[in-house]
Each structure stands twice: as structure tokens, then as C-alpha cells.
Structure 1
Amino acid sequence: MTENNTEYNNFRIAVPAKFEEVYTHVYFAENKTGESMNKTLLPSYQTILIFSFGATPWLLSKENSRIPVDKYLVIGPVKQAFEYTLPPGAEILTVNFKHDAFYRFFRHASIPEHVPMNPAAQLEEDCFSILWHQLSKISDVNGKVNHILTFCEPYLAYRNKIAGQLASFGERSLDRIKSIAQENKQTERNTQLNHKKHFGYSAKEHNRFTRFLEAVNLIQTLASGNAKVDWFEIVAECGYYDQSQLIKDFKHYINLSPTNYLKFQQDICNPIT
């Protein structure tokens, strides 16, 4: 979702081609209104690094406790929707890691969900604190993004061969795990473990999420064209057994029924589209 006005601004920033294997995009939002802005972020199965400037925003955990974003934190892979609040004067810049990129930087693929992690502890001591202070002196958003990319590049490790094959596998009619296992003369179990190790989630988890995301994007497309949503069409197009399975996935990922998602989608940010 993208909104642009004189008081609340948020937009996506594409990364240069050389970084497209590592990041999907960078997201910027600022609240210049006199009221707090409450948003819901859809799951993305990506790990995100959030930099905060100005007033302190916060996330709402599964246990309904507030997690402040003090300068920076890492969260993910984001497997379920969560709420966040931007108070007046808040400004955030969010880096979205792609596929196995988080593992390539930090040597592990996941952290406790909805729990902040200090990324500096995984690299050189206090390096991200230094980066935050450098970013805080750059007023231009694109300048901040370029500085982040330049800063992070030396820490990026070479990609594991199997992880690269898993990330780039595009033949939807074939079983990704089985195909890559055969290609590398490995067991399917070993390939599954490689997937979990480098991505932070199983291939089965991601297949379910991809189906849900297709449903979300189809609903958004129909809604944007003012077309009436035919739920049976959604079920058929996205490969669900029936409408109850569709509802179950929406409840699982965003704790809303498909009908309520359609009603409130303007307040929900989709990090993928």
C-alpha cells in the first residue's frame, strides 16, 4: 500500500540491480501529522531491518506488549501479520532481506519472531550503532539507502549453492525440493534441512504462504477495479480445496476473515506488492 500526502508519506525504494539478489526493496514512512498512525503489516516471509529516526515507533507483539524501535532492530522471518504504530514525528527506513540473504549476512536465518535483535552483535561490535549515527546525518532518503547498501556490502558472504538453486527455482509444476535433491544427488530430507537452515522456514511453509499471497493479490486487483469479489473464483484460481481452507489461511496469517480483509485493506500494508 502506498500513500502520499503532505502529512503522512510512505513509499518503496527499488535497489540497484547488483543488490536485487539480496534485498527486495527499502520501505520509507514518516508521520508528520498530529496523531499516531496505526498500521498492520502483512506477512512477507522476509526478515526486515528497521531504522528509526525521530519519535520512537513501536511494534505490537503476539502477547500484546509494545516493542519500541529504538534506533534499529531486526525481526523475522515475518510469518504472521503484526501491528505497528508511528507516533507524530516518527520516521522509519526498513530494509527487506530476500530469500537467504539474512543468512548470508548473519550466519543464521531466523530470530525469535516479534522479538527485536541487535544486529551489531552478529557482526562487528556496535557497527550498526555507528551506521545509525551516520544515517541520522543524511537528510535525503535515497542518500540513506545508498549509504546502507555501501555499508553492508563487505559483510555479504558467498551464497551456498543449494540455497541459490532453491531461491531461483521457478518451475511451479515441479516439486522444488525433489528436483533439487535429484540434481545434487542428495536426499530430499537433506535438501529440506538446507532450506530451513538458509531461509528460516520450510518449503512446505512457503508453499502455503505463496498460495495465500496469490489470494491477497487477486483480491486487491479485483477491489482496485471495483469488481465484486467472487470467493469461489478466488478458491479456484489460488488452488484452495474450498472456502473454509481459504478462511483458515487468512485467520492464520492476519487474524482476519477474507471479507474483513477486503473491508480493512486500506489500513494494511502489503510488503510484497
Structure 2
Amino acid sequence: MKYKKYIPLPRLRPFVECLFFWEVPKQAQQTVIDSPPAGYSAIVFNLEGGYQIARYGHDSHDIRSSFVVGQATSNYQLLVEESIHQIGIVFKPTGLFKLFNIPGFEISNGRFSLDDLSAASLQLLEKQIAELKSPDQQIEHIQQVLLQQLSRKNLVPDQLDLAVNQIVGKRGNIKISEVLPGTFMSRRKFERRFLYEVGLSPKYYARLRRYGYACSLIAGKREADWDTVLFPGGYYDQSHFIKDFKEFSGLSPQRYLLKNQELSHKIES
């Protein structure tokens, strides 16, 4: 199983978190991969194969085509048996809306095929990258298309983009009242635009981002010194830490540590 993350070109970074390549050979038996919510949306080009996805508290369903995925508010599992070849774009919270006019509130907790979205430009991009031979060439082409989109829309980060990216940079460990003055908006307008573009309320998003970062601190581990997770993760109260884990994953932090099968357990070194 191979996974490679690419840092976006500088002009794309206000709107794009990263790009990635993921390749999985056919599995002898079903492989389970856990994924906590990270606070990002994405476009995933599924160039080969498929898998099942099961979100905590919901039934599983098949993924076969390329798709757009919105903000997730709970852990989910990928159930993999056959070979997979994926190329993906992971967006900053407002990036998908700014670059492709897809409102976050319409796609939260969902995966929508490019056919469902009638996304002709993305369908064309899918065909173009399928004809390229290597992941590096595919990623390079995607970035050039994104740069063209950036120029076509004359995009520069606005006050909301900067505020949202500040929450991302602080890993959710910041009060909305600290972010608000720099937006030059009323709280009501800020919350309304945030919900529309990102898909979640600012306060809920910050909480989700904090939880996702805590998960990243224990990914790939089976033992942890919880003090090195709680405080760097922005948790100053163990009860809130436990509450978030149970709400978003259905498990206590200790049980999640022992049972999780995040991608970091699977990829080749």
C-alpha cells in the first residue's frame, strides 16, 4: 500500500491543503482503514477499483466513481479488498467553494459523484489525468488546472478565508471571538458565511478540528502518554477530551488508541 502527499504550489496554498496519491494492490482479505474527521473537503479521482465506506453509526455503501466529499462529523472506515488507484485534492475549508462554487453546507457528511454534481470541468480533468502515466505527472497537471481556475476567478484570500485558515492553523484551539475582529463582519454574518462555505458552524468546526488533530497525535501508535496529547491538542479538561472521542468515534480515547487502523498503520515505509 503506497501513499504520497504533495505540498501545493505557493499560490494554491490559501485554498488547497495538499494533494495525494494512494495505491493499493488487491488484498488477500478485507483491510479496514479508520479515518477521523480532519476538517477538510476533497475531490477524489478514483481511477481504478473501489471499496466500501462505513461511517460511524451508518450503513456501509460502495465507492466506485470519482467523487467530491464534504466535511465529515464522525469517524468512518474504508473497507478495502480490491486494487485502488486514487489521486486527490484536499482543500482548505473554504477552498472547494472558492475554486469550484460548491457550497460546503450542501455536501457535509456526504460523497457525491461527479455525475451527480454535473461537474463537467471535473469530469474533463478526470479524463485528462487518467491518460497520464505517473502520479507526479497527474499531480502536476491538476495543479496547473487549479492555477488556471485561480486566475480565471481572480481569486485572492478574503477575510473569511483568512479567519478560517487561522482556525485551521491553531488546530481549533482558538475562540471565535478572537478570530472575528479581523473579518470586519458581525458575528451573525460571519457564522452565516462560514456555514454556507465550510458546511459547519465556526464553533463546531473548531471543536472538530481540535479532535482531528488529537487523533493525528496518536495515529500509528498503540501506546501514548496522554499528557502529550491533551495539552498540545488544546484539551485542558480530560472530560471534554473523552466526550469528543466518544461523540466522534464511538470509542473512549484508550480504546481508540488500541483499536484504530488509520492509514499510518498500513502504508509502506
CA contact (8 A) 2:104 2:197 kept: yes
Whether 1:166 and 2:160 are equivalent positions in the alignment is: no
Which blocks of at least 5 consecutive residues in structure 2 are unaligned? 265-269
Q: CA offset at residue 102 of structure 1?
A: 1.0
2:195 aligned partner, one-letter code:
K
Question: Secondary structure in 1 aligned to 2:105?
Answer: coil
- Equivalence for 1:206: 205
Range that drifts further, 73-82 or 161-170: 161-170
2:7 aligned partner: 14
Does the residue aligned with 1:117 lie in a helix, a strand or coil? strand
CA RMSD of superposed structures (Å): 3.0
Distance in 1 separating the partners of 2:157 and 2:93:
12
Per-residue CA distance 1:94-135 (angstroms, 9 max, x = gap): 210112101102331233444332446767x63322222221
Change over 3 Å in CA distance of 1:233–1:190 after alignment to 2: same
Determine helix, strand or coil for the equivalent of 2:136.
Answer: helix
> Which residue identity does 1:161 align to in structure 2?
D
User: What is the alpha-carbon distance in structure 2 between the residues aligned to residue 10 and residue 237 of structure 1?
Assistant: 26
Q: Is the 8 A contact 1:75 1:111 kept in 2?
A: no
Partner of residue 255, structure 1: 250
Q: How does 1:112-191 map to 2 (within 5 A)?
A: 112-119=107-114, 126-156=120-150, 157=153, 158-159=155-156, 161-169=158-166, 177-179=176-178, 181-183=180-182, 185-191=184-190
1:239 Cα offset (Å): 4.5
**Size of the alignment, in residue pairs?**
255
The answer to which of 237-246 and 51-60 deviates more is 237-246
User: Are the structure 2 counterparts of residues 40 and 181 from structure 1 closer, same or farther at C-alpha, using a change threshold of 3 Å?
Assistant: closer
| Structure 1 residues without counterparts, runs of 5 or longer | 1-7
Partner AA of 1:66 in structure 2 = H
- 1:99-110 matches, within 5 Å, as 99-107=93-101, 108-110=103-105
Q: 2:81 aligns with which of 87, 103, 109?
A: 87
Residues 1:97 and 2:91 are matched in the alignment = yes
Amino acid in structure 2 at the alignment position of 1:248: K
TM-score, normalization by structure 2: 0.79
Percentage of matched positions with identical amino acids: 17
TM-score using structure 1 length: 0.78
Does the C-alpha gap of structure 1 residues 246 and 184 become closer, same or farther in structure 2, counting only changes over 3 Å?
Answer: closer
- Separation in structure 1 between the aligned mates of residue 198 and residue 132 of structure 2, nearest angstrom: 32
